[in-house]
Structure 1
Amino acid sequence: MSKKSTWLARHSSDSSAVRRIVCFPHAGGSASFFRPWVKHLPPTVELLAVQYPGRENRYAEPLVGTVAECAAESAEALLAEPARETVLFGHSMGAAIAYETMRLLEVAGAAHFTRLCVSGRRISEFPDPADAVPRTDTQILSDMAELGGTQAEVLDEPDLREMLLPIIRNDYLLIDRYRPPRDAVPIGADVLALIGDRDPQVDERQVKAWASVTTGAFEWRVFSGGHFYLTDHARRVVELATAPSRNSASPGKVR
């Protein structure tokens, strides 16, 4: 089976589509998290989401161990798609994978990837990755309760909890061990950084630091809400992410 059919879930596709948004899920998340975004997009913009191994239609596949592996597989799948203007959107862990994927796409010379949207994720100020160890069930459940979102509610069901905990533990370890390369060449794509004003993992100062990864235009927005603010602000998030490149709107807070 081709990378295209396993790594990319196609939530919408229309013969009239001229642009594309590709979404990268959070730790423990799956491609279906972004399916509701279809209703906020015109037929001219198709919606794809990256499907990591070990979940939904890829449940039987081994989990991926590094951000680099996820990025390499995602980039390969995306390069096999028809070339059209494309935005990458990643939330939380997905922001790191989307960033590394964009770096690979630009190295490959794919100029039609024009914007990177990073949500709920910082780019610096991490603890020593050598200290990263698999989190216990108690730690995972505590972290998920703090972050909120529908996933925390799902973990209240014993059968679902038993199925999801290994996936979330793997994803947490994957992202705990990831560090952005210090000598990375800045990308040329525009960057849009988004957070919720009550996110316990990243603040306004940290979200502005994403400006350092690009030579293109940079914007940031702060929404009302916690780590999963985007579920309540989906329409506005989609509008910002898919706006024409080098949007001249000023950065700031969105209520």
Structure 2
Amino acid sequence: MNGPDPRWVQRYHPGPAAGVTLVCLPHAGGSASFFYPVSAALAGSIDVVAVQYPGRQDRHDEPQVSSISTLAAAVAEQVAALGPRPVALFGHSMGALVGYETALLLERTGQAPAHLFASGRRAPSTARPEAVHRLGDDALVAHVRELDGDTGVADALEDPDVRAMALPALRADYRAVETYPVASGPPLRCPITVFTGRDDPVVTAAEAAAWGGHTLGTFACLTFPGRHFFVTTHRDAILSEIQRRLTLVPSTVG
């Protein structure tokens, strides 16, 4: 493969000639454009690319993927095609699980990521009985709004046309998350930094801290005020933490 598939990997701003590529992985129902502000904020210092899952935005006519492992295998292939520079993974909610599974695959092939940033998701070794993907449309939208708080992430779902286009992908993503098996594999070698919301209804402090058992490297768990989409209201602080940690990564692999 000559470079990543542009359907999967989107780069909104030119990245620096050297340094780390930060691969951003969206939440359930989310798209690559969620990370446009991340790319804009880090432009010039970190090369930022965002993954576009099938079944949304410019890929809306493609079948959704309802398996975390299938998504991770595709993402790992695209990450490997980015080239020899170091790569870090940043996933929010479902994206944190995709990032974790992608990191495992990359380590198995000798292409270990430099860092995994997991946001708004309990550790893969924890589980809750959930069946959100089986809810009716109105109940599913209400669930997203309850997670959202007042960040405005769910507002677009009030538009009937947007709702009709977005709900199939959202439901498929929830199915992928809710059928994901409890992880029992070996810990990663790369560092893990976790970001969590103090009032997030789907992640407790203990569930966030349990990510520490998934790495042999350094681990940090940082808590921010807010609910599930605290990443939008505390973007600057979170990106500052990411940037600080990635400055410690050597600019070449070897």
> Could you tell me which residue of structure 2 aligns to residue 74 of structure 1?
75
TM-score (norm 1): 0.89
Structure 1: runs of 5 or more not aligned = 248-255
Name the SS for the 1:151 alignment partner: coil
> Could you tell me which residue of structure 1 aligns to residue 144 of structure 2?
144
Cα 1:138–1:122 change in 2 (3 A) is: same
RMSD: 2.1
Distance of 2:199 and 2:82 partners within structure 1: 37
> Could you tell me which residue of structure 1 aligns to residue 245 of structure 2?
244
Name the SS for the 1:180 alignment partner: coil
Q: CA deviation at 1:174?
A: 1.1
Q: CA deviation at 1:233?
A: 1.1
Q: CA deviation at 1:243?
A: 2.2
Q: CA deviation at 1:185?
A: 1.1
Q: CA deviation at 1:216?
A: 0.2
Residue 179 of structure 1 aligns to which amino acid in structure 2? P
Cα 1:158–1:198 change in 2 (3 A) is: same
Q: CA deviation at 1:176?
A: 0.6
Deviations 1:190-231 (A, max 9, x none): 000111111111121111100000000000100011110111
Q: Higher relative contact order by CA 8 Å / sep ≥ 6: 1 or 2?
A: 2
Identity %: 36
Residue 68 of structure 1 aligns to which amino acid in structure 2? S
Structure 2: runs of 5 or more not aligned = 249-254
Q: Is the 8 A contact 2:15 2:43 kept in 1?
A: no
> Could you tell me which residue of structure 2 aligns to residue 4 of structure 1?
5
Q: Is the 8 A contact 1:190 1:246 kept in 2?
A: no
Give the structure with the larger strand fraction: 1
Name the SS for the 1:4 alignment partner: coil
Distance of 1:125 and 1:187 partners within structure 2: 16
Residue 83 of structure 2 aligns to which amino acid in structure 1? P
> Could you tell me which residue of structure 1 aligns to residue 252 of structure 2?
none
Matches within 5 A, 1:33-44: 33-44=34-45
Residue 238 of structure 1 aligns to which amino acid in structure 2? L
Aligned residues: 244
Deviations 1:158-186 (A, max 9, x none): 1111111111111111111012322x011
Q: Is the 8 A contact 2:31 2:56 kept in 1?
A: yes
Residue 91 of structure 1 aligns to which amino acid in structure 2? H
Name the SS for the 1:188 alignment partner: coil
Q: CA deviation at 1:232?
A: 1.1
